[in-house]
Structure 1
Amino acid sequence: MKSRLPINIINGAGMIIIVVIFLMPFVWMVSTSFKTLGETMTFPPVWFPDQFLWENFTKAWNSGPFLRYFFNSVVVTFGILVLQFCTIIPAAYAFARYTFKGDRFFFGLTMITLMIPPQLIFLPVYLQMSSWGLLDSLWALILPFASSAFGIFLLRQSFKQVPEELLEAARLDEASEGKIILKIMIPMAKPVLITFALFSFITHWNDYFWPLVMTTSDSARTLPLGISKLREVEGGVAWNILMAGNMILVIPILIVFFFAQRQIIRAFVYTGVK
Structure 2
Amino acid sequence: MARRPDQGRGSAILRHAVLALATLVFCIPFIWMLLTSFKSRPDIFNGGIDPWPRQWGIVENYSRILFDVPMPRYLLNGAIVCLGIMALQILVAAPVAYALAKLKFRAARWLLPLIVVALAIPAFLPTLPLYLAFRLTGLISSSSGAFGNYAALILPFSISAFGVFLLRQHFKSVPDELVHAARLDGMSDWSIVWRVMVPHARPAIVAFCIFSVVAHWNDLFWPLIVISDNTYATPPIGIIAFVNESVGGGDYGPLMAAATAVTLPIIAVYLLGQRFMADGMALMGK
Give RMSD over aligned pairs: 1.9
Mapped to 2, the partners of 1:57 and 1:267 lie a distance apart of 37
Aligned residue number for residue 24 of structure 1: 28
Mapped to 1, the partners of 2:256 and 2:79 lie a distance apart of 21
* Matched position secondary structure for 1:120: coil
Mapped to 2, the partners of 1:144 and 1:250 lie a distance apart of 24
Aligned residue number for residue 134 of structure 1: 139
- The partner residue of 1:219 within 231, 235, 242 is 231
Aligned residue number for residue 186 of structure 1: 198
Asked if 1:147 corresponds to 2:147, the answer is no
Asked if 1:201 corresponds to 2:206, the answer is no
Asked if 1:48 corresponds to 2:52, the answer is yes
Mapped to 1, the partners of 2:15 and 2:248 lie a distance apart of 48
Report if the CA contact (8 A) 1:61-1:245 is conserved.
no
Tell me which amino acid in the other structure corresponds to 2:70.
P
Tell me which amino acid in the other structure corresponds to 2:94.
I
Aligned residue number for residue 38 of structure 1: 42
Unpaired stretches in structure 1, ≥5 consecutive residues: none
Unpaired stretches in structure 2, ≥5 consecutive residues: 142-148
Mapped to 1, the partners of 2:158 and 2:281 lie a distance apart of 25
- The partner residue of 1:262 within 256, 275, 281 is 275
Count of residue pairs the alignment pairs up:
271
Asked if 1:84 corresponds to 2:97, the answer is no
Report if the CA contact (8 A) 1:35-1:52 is conserved.
yes
Distance 1:170 1:262, change over 3 A: same
Mapped to 2, the partners of 1:62 and 1:117 lie a distance apart of 38
Greater CA drift, 59-68 or 118-127? 59-68
Asked if 1:245 corresponds to 2:258, the answer is yes
Aligned residue number for residue 145 of structure 2: none
**1:114 Cα deviation after fit:** 1.5
Aligned residue number for residue 13 of structure 1: 17
Q: TM-score, normalised by structure 1?
A: 0.92
Q: TM-score, normalised by structure 2?
A: 0.88
Aligned residue number for residue 158 of structure 1: 170
Mapped to 2, the partners of 1:235 and 1:92 lie a distance apart of 48
Distance 1:256 1:168, change over 3 A: same
Distance 1:67 1:3, change over 3 A: closer
